[in-house]
Structure 1
Amino acid sequence: MNYRIVEDLNEMKLDDIVRLLRMTYWADKRPVERIEKSINNSKCYGLYVDAAENLVGFARIITDYATNYYLCDVIIDEAYRHQGLGKALVSHIVSAPELEGLRGILITKDAQPLYSQYGFEVVNDRAMFKAAN
């Protein structure tokens, strides 16, 4: 499957991001105004596939670019799951040069196996950390 990952928020539509976040258990009731504020204050990543016009994947990080980054709101459209797109998106993010040497932090209820492939280690039932490299 051909895909492309974009990092320019201008290449992503707010409506597409909201639609994806409505598919989650953690942000399905998040007000649109809060979603918009969160993406405007984060580094965002969007994923498109050739067969779709709309955004099919999204993630964002919150960081100071000096010590830590928090990976959050990682979501792949339900119609495109189990095709390696989540792995591609997470791999792209954690290998970004601007995150090199920073500690990664995330919280997940059920995706520990995905993130452990990229160096994140479970510290309790939901929190995971990736050591600074």
Structure 2
Amino acid sequence: MTVQITYKVNAEINALELSSVFKASGIKRPVDDLPRLGRMIEHADILISAWDGNQLVGIARAITDFSYCCYLSDLAVNKNYQKNGIGKELISLLKDELGEEVALLLLASQEAMGYYPRIGFNEIDNGFKIARKR
């Protein structure tokens, strides 16, 4: 099956579309809390999206100062579209938006630890976090 994927920067996305791509990707997010997903969209600095026609099939959602660092909060691709380079292209487009001065950081799930080095990320061991309560 050959599909034509269209990529968009900061396209309008609603909470239901985001929920659908999260569910279809397997990423653990509050997929049934649409108001919270709406806030996640509203407060993102960059949204890079992948579309098959009118269907959202991938998303990179990031928070950044556009000067020094960027946190990649979500990278999700519908499982039916994975292994086609969509995630790698979403990251490439995000890096283009950020430029060379900005470091790209993320926290990976255990399942994704092997993926990120394949698309250009280096593993680091000097980080800390305070976990969310819900």
TM-score, length-scaled by structure 1: 0.77
Q: Which residue of 1 aligns with 2:6?
A: 4
**What letter is aligned with 2:92?**
S
**What letter is aligned with 1:123?**
I
- Identity, in percent, stands at 20
The alignment yields a C-alpha RMSD, in angstroms, of 2.3
**What letter is aligned with 1:105?**
L
Q: Which residue of 1 aligns with 2:105?
A: 105
Give, in whole Å, the separation in 2 of the partners of 1:55 and 1:29.
15
Name the SS for the 2:122 alignment partner. strand
Give, in whole Å, the separation in 2 of the partners of 1:85 and 1:119.
14
Q: Which residue of 1 aligns with 2:50?
A: 47
**What letter is aligned with 2:38?**
E
**What letter is aligned with 2:48?**
Y
Give, in whole Å, the separation in 2 of the partners of 1:14 and 1:53.
15
**What letter is aligned with 2:100?**
E
The residue correspondences of 1:6-85 to structure 2 (distance < 5 A) are: 6-10=8-12, 12-23=13-24, 24-29=26-31, 31-42=33-44, 43-49=46-52, 52-85=53-86
Give, in whole Å, the separation in 2 of the partners of 1:48 and 1:100.
26
Q: Which residue of 1 aligns with 2:131?
A: none
Give the C-alpha shift of residue 113 in structure 1.
3.6
Q: Tell me the matched-pair count.
A: 122
Deviation string for 1:57-85 (max 9, x for gaps)?
A: 11111011121100121111111112221
TM-score, length-scaled by structure 2: 0.76
Residues 113, 26 of structure 1: alpha-carbon distance in 2 compared, 3 angstrom cutoff: same
Q: Which residue of 2 aligns with 1:131?
A: none
Name the SS for the 2:55 alignment partner. coil
